[in-house]
Amino acid sequence: MPPAGLEADLLELGRSLAWAAPAPEFASRVTQRIVSRPVTQPWWRGRSVVFGRPVRRAVLIAVALLLVLAAVAGAVGLGLPGLRIIFGVPAGASPAPSASQAIPGASASGGPGATLGLGQLVALDQIDGAAGFHVVRPTDPAIGPPETAWIDTARANQVSLAWSPRPNLPPTLDPGVGLLLTQFDGRLDNGFFSKAIGSGTTVEPVHVNGTSAYWVSGQPHFYFYTARNGQFVDDDRRWVGDALLWSDGTYTYRLETSLGRDAAIRIAESVR
């Protein structure tokens, strides 16, 4: 796009963005600071590079475009209640589950999910009472009932159901887990769900029972969110595979599997 056209588009975009108007004295304070600041020699002075006006203008426009795109990317939602994309996995994130993240006393003998730090192991027939809400599960007969149920009271009663690998459920990044379904409060008016996406991770819009959903695949990822009660939940402890994310308007669900997108959608559509 010619610089003039790009500049016009950026100006039009700027007019459409919501922003808080500064106080009347804001401009004068900024001007005073600029005037009082000592003039420094430009970094290009004395170098062999010479910028003409058109080049300088193009560079400034390119920088402005990058800033605008960064701001827009950070603000765009994905259509689920509070779902947002945040690019770049923060430093220190672990790319795979580790035994050090297990709950106290848990071991491989605790069943699928025991080494993932999912919270407290609860009997399947008691999970609804422990969570305080109905915990859904797939009704697809090929999947069958989960083998373990976990509740994390420190993370707003987040519930996870886990299945062991078998011929129709290949192992995920955790060799002891073939399928993992997590349910948590994801109402739009009381929180947001954020997804950290690193290089090599893709997000594909899909549908589950006619509602918006997202298939996240590729490199490992993690998530965090704010629960309905306002509690910030940082759940960067584990991930086991590609994930399907969707919401029923009250709760948000995360299904992790190695079966692929279409199979994950089929399983999600059987959840009741």
Token pair for 130: 């422990």
Instruction: Give domain status of residue 63, yes or no.
Output: no
**pLDDT at residue 188 in the model:** 41
List of the chain residues with pLDDT < 70: 1-5, 7-9, 11-109, 186-199, 220-226, 234-238
Q: Which helix or strand (DSSP H or E) is residue 32 part of?
A: helix 26-36
**pLDDT at residue 156 in the model:** 81
Contact 202, 176 (CB under 8 A): no
Instruction: Give domain status of residue 116, yes or no.
Output: yes
Instruction: Give domain status of residue 249, yes or no.
Output: yes
Instruction: Give domain status of residue 20, yes or no.
Output: no
Domain count, the chain: 1
CA-angle at 192, arms to 246 and 177, nearest 5°: 45
Beta 193-197 vs 83-87: how paired, if at all? parallel
CA-angle at 123, arms to 119 and 125, nearest 5°: 130
CA dihedral of 265, 258, 176, 111, whole degrees rounded to 10: 0
Instruction: Give domain status of residue 223, yes or no.
Output: yes
**pLDDT at residue 11 in the model:** 66
Write the burial class of residue 189 (CB in 10 Å: 0-12 exposed, 13-18 middle, 19+ buried): exposed
**pLDDT at residue 97 in the model:** 43
Spatial separation of the C-alpha atoms in residues 180 and 166, rounded to whole Å: 13
**pLDDT at residue 18 in the model:** 60
pTM: 0.65
Instruction: Give domain status of residue 77, yes or no.
Output: no
Q: Give me the sign of the Cα torsion angle 222, 255, 76, 188.
A: negative
Domain extent at residue 218: 87-269
Q: Which helix or strand (DSSP H or E) is residue 1 part of?
A: none
3-state SS of 113-174 is CCCCCCCEEECHHHHHHHHCCCCCCECCCCCCCCCEEEEEHHHCCEEEEEECCECCECCCCC
3-state SS assignment for residue 149: strand
Contact 176, 164 (CB under 8 A): yes
pLDDT in tens, 182-192: 998 865 444 45
Q: Give how far the C-alpha of residue 208 lies from the chain's centroid of Cα atoms, to the nearest Å.
A: 18
Instruction: Give domain status of residue 202, yes or no.
Output: yes
Instruction: Give domain status of residue 260, yes or no.
Output: yes
pLDDT in tens, 144-181: 999 999 999 888 889 999 999 999 999 999 999 999 99
pLDDT in tens, 236-262: 555 788 999 998 888 989 999 999 999
Q: Which of 248, 79, 235, 54 is nearest to 160 (CA)?
A: 235
